[in-house]
A and B are shown apart, each in its own frame.
Chain A
Amino acid sequence: MAEIDTAALKDNFAAVAARGGDDVALYFYSYLFLRFPQTRDMFPPGMTRQRDRLVGALVRIVTDVDDAGKLVPYLEDLGRDHRKFGTLSAHYPAVGEALLTTLRHFSGPDWTDKLATDWAAAYGIVAGTMSGAAEKVAATAPAYWDADILEVDRRTFDIAVLTARTETPVPYLAGQSLAVEPSDSRPREWRFFTPANPPGGVDIELHARLIPGGPVSTALVRVSKRGDKLRLGPPFGRMTLDPASQRPVLMVAGSTGVAPMKAMIGRLAETGGRRTHLYFGACSVREAYDQYALTAIDNRYGWLSVVTAISDDTRWKGRQGLIGEVAADDGDWSEHDVYVCGSPAMVEATIKRLLAVGVLEDRVRFEEFGEA
């Protein structure tokens, strides 16, 4: 990148983005689909979120353009992740042309040959990093796995537990998430879900909680039925067990955040078990949708104890309160590996509370629910 004037690119991008991020993205995709109609099918019918994502990714790339240590891993992840959309190396030049045309269109008289050359060179490096990372894993891992829904167990009107079967096992680690596309009801829309069972088999248990307006969660909870197709992306996420650790485990989960915990407990059971406390929290009894299974594993594994607390339901006769506070008040967790999963607010409050009672920050791993 030596000869690329990154400062000029940043300035140019800022000027273009100031014209309206969504307009820029609209132009970009319109030009792309006009010039390369075959790319249209890789995107969902509704493009609003997609445009947000594009702008977000561009902003991030331009922001970190001088920090290769941060940018390269991000681009490699992005490249690998794009495989599930059916992206091939051949698609990258098309995107490059659309990007440069868009930048030139919005730059107006500020556009120079030097900018054109530098943008082309910079895009070449980005595309090369992305497609290089994608090609590297292509030999060993499929771009995606197609799955059939075996069962949709609607536990409440807005929470469903789905079982899906793939032809070959998806090589995820317990605690990792998979991007899920409801191929029949909302094609090309993706959202991360975490399998609630340990890896190894072809069946995957997914816990889906409906987010009002979220296309994927709505499709999974309300629309999907036995026999529908799902497409699963490659595993993602760093909330996994530390195989070298012999420390006891504390897990704090809110609502469907219990899914990765169940997967990790299943994995722990396969390796003999470690002293584990699972704290499950929900607002109401309705959201305690998996009590039957939690009670079963609680009874089954001597090394596991499960505590359920409900924060806002008079019918509940057990522990009351927010799960992070209940867990923090319950004991000394300073020797534990700690896992937290739930809504962003729940994760933030729980970690803050746990750190205050002596949990070591570098032993905390967490995952938040995304949107859609």
Chain B
Amino acid sequence: MTDATSGVPGGITGAELATAAFATSKGFGKGGYEPAEVDAFLSRSGDAVDRLNARLAQAEQALAQARARIQQLRDRIDRDSRSSEVEQAVGMLTTAQLTADNTIAHADEYSAKVMAEARELYETTRRNASVLEQETESKSRAVFEDAMRRAEAVERENEVRVAELTLTAEIAQEELDGQTAYLRTLRDATRTQMEKFLEGMLDHLSDQYGRAHPIAAQAANGGVAASVAAGATPGASVRRPRRTQRVGARPAAVAGRPTAATPDRRRQGAAPASAKGPVHGSAGEPPTIPPPRLPRSSAPAPAGRPVDTSVTD
């Protein structure tokens, strides 16, 4: 309050009003204020109030003017912005913007489409490639596995064949061993038989010519030798058929032996003929392994079957 009027020249302040002091009137003796002082103060106060009121009116007028001006300007802006020119211009700008937007949207759409197609193409190609890759892989795996199977089959076959060949070799060895034993036995038997034969001959000579004095026997021996040299042919011819017969029995025994010995003989015999395993076509044929080569025509056959058993054992 004090501030509001303190600036007014010749004005009066609220504080002055509140603290106004007057001299006491001496005329009545009752202590009243000095009338002249009071009048002067009131007059001053009245002037101040008048001045303030005038200023207030001025301010209110200025404010009203300013408000009117603001309203005027606002109406003008309003009019301007609503004016057909502004509306037209806004409309044109809007159309231009929409045209630009459409053009750009088309370009973006086109780019999006191209990229989407590229991506799809890429993905399709990738899928196809991976399918192809898988197919190729499974095909090559099949080929590989087939080859492996075949290789395994060949290997198995080879193993069988090696086993067969080993067996064949063993059998051949056994055969050889057997034949060796046979020959050995034959040799022994022949030797025994020869000894017996010679002993028999000796006995015969003793019978023929008696158990004479060794000198007589010597003489007799000499006589025999002479008779043999001269005309013992009939005696020899008598013995020969027997020997022939005996020797003739030998091949029969040999020929029969393989069948009696072991059926393997047949395979063994066929094996060398072909590398492809057992050959059945040879079943009925005689073994191709030759029987032991013997002096068949001259060697006497061993007695009975001991030869066979010795071979098979």
Contacts and interface: CB of A to CB of B under 8 A. Distances in A.
Contacts of A315: 130, 133
B97 A29 contact: yes
A26 B97 contact: yes
B111 interface: yes
B90 A46 contact: no
B65 interface: no
Contact of B109 (A47, A213, A222, A313): A213
Given A34-B86, A210-B115, A46 B122 contact: no
Interface string B65-80: 0000000000000000
A46 B89 contact: no
B101 A46 contact: yes
Interface in B115-136: 115-116, 118-119, 122-123, 126, 130, 133-134
A213 B108 contact: yes
Interface string A315-332: 100000000000000000
B105 interface: yes
A314 B100 CA distance: 45
A313 B90 contact: no
Contact of A45 (B90, B100, B116): B100
A45 B119 CA distance: 28
Interface in B6-36: none
Nearest to B86: A34
A189 to B, nearest CB: 10
A26 B96 CA distance: 11
A287 to B, nearest CB: 11
B15 to A, nearest CB: 36
B97 A30 contact: yes
Contacts of B158: none
Question: Which residue among A29, A158, A212, A314 has the maximum number of chain B CB atoms within 10 Å of its CB?
Answer: A212
Contacts of A215: 108
Contact of B122 (A30, A33, A213, A286): A286
Contacts of A48: 101, 104-105
A286 B126 contact: yes
Contact of A314 (B93, B115, B134): B134
Contacts of A210: 115
Contact of A34 (B89, B100, B118, B134): B89
A47 B130 contact: no
Contacts of B115: 158, 210, 212-213, 218, 222
A269 to B, nearest CB: 35
Interface in A181-239: 210, 212-213, 215, 218, 222
Given A30-B94, A30-B97, A47-B101, A212 B126 contact: no
A47 B97 contact: yes
Given A210-B115, A313-B130, A45 B94 contact: no
A303 to B, nearest CB: 35
A40 to B, nearest CB: 10
B97 A34 contact: no
Interface in A147-170: 157-158
A27 interface: yes
B100 A46 contact: yes
A31 interface: yes
Nearest to B93: A30
B98 interface: yes
B81 interface: yes
Contact of B94 (A27, A101, A313): A27
A51 to B, nearest CB: 9
B126 A284 contact: yes
Nearest to B108: A213
Contacts of B113: 212
Contact of B105 (A34, A46, A158, A314): A46
Contacts of B130: 313-315
A109 B123 CA distance: 58
A315 B98 CA distance: 47
A158 B100 contact: no
B112 interface: yes
Nearest to A33: B93
Contacts of A213: 108-109, 111-112, 115
A158 B111 CA distance: 12
Contacts of A45: 100, 104
Nearest to B107: A46
A31 to B, nearest CB: 5
A39 to B, nearest CB: 12
Contacts of B98: 26
A150 to B, nearest CB: 25
A295 to B, nearest CB: 22
B93 A34 contact: yes
Contacts of B133: 314-315
A159 to B, nearest CB: 11
Contacts of B100: 45-47
Interface string A17-45: 00000000011011101100000000001
Contacts of B116: 212
B156 to A, nearest CB: 34
A314 B112 CA distance: 27
Nearest to A100: B81
Nearest to B121: A157
Contacts of A284: 123, 126
Interface of A: 26-27, 29-31, 33-34, 45-48, 101, 104, 157-158, 210, 212-213, 215, 218, 222, 284, 286, 313-315
6 contacts: A26-B94, A27-B94, A47-B100, A104-B81, A158-B118, A213-B109
Q: Across chains A and B, which 5 residue pairs bring their CB atoms closest together, nearest first?
A: A213-B112, A46-B104, A212-B112, A30-B93, A30-B94
Given A34-B86, A215-B108, A314-B133, 20 more contacts: A26-B94, A29-B97, A30-B93, A30-B94, A30-B97, A31-B86, A31-B90, A33-B93, A34-B89, A45-B100, A45-B104, A48-B104, A101-B81, A158-B118, A212-B113, A213-B108, A218-B108, A284-B123, A313-B130, A314-B130
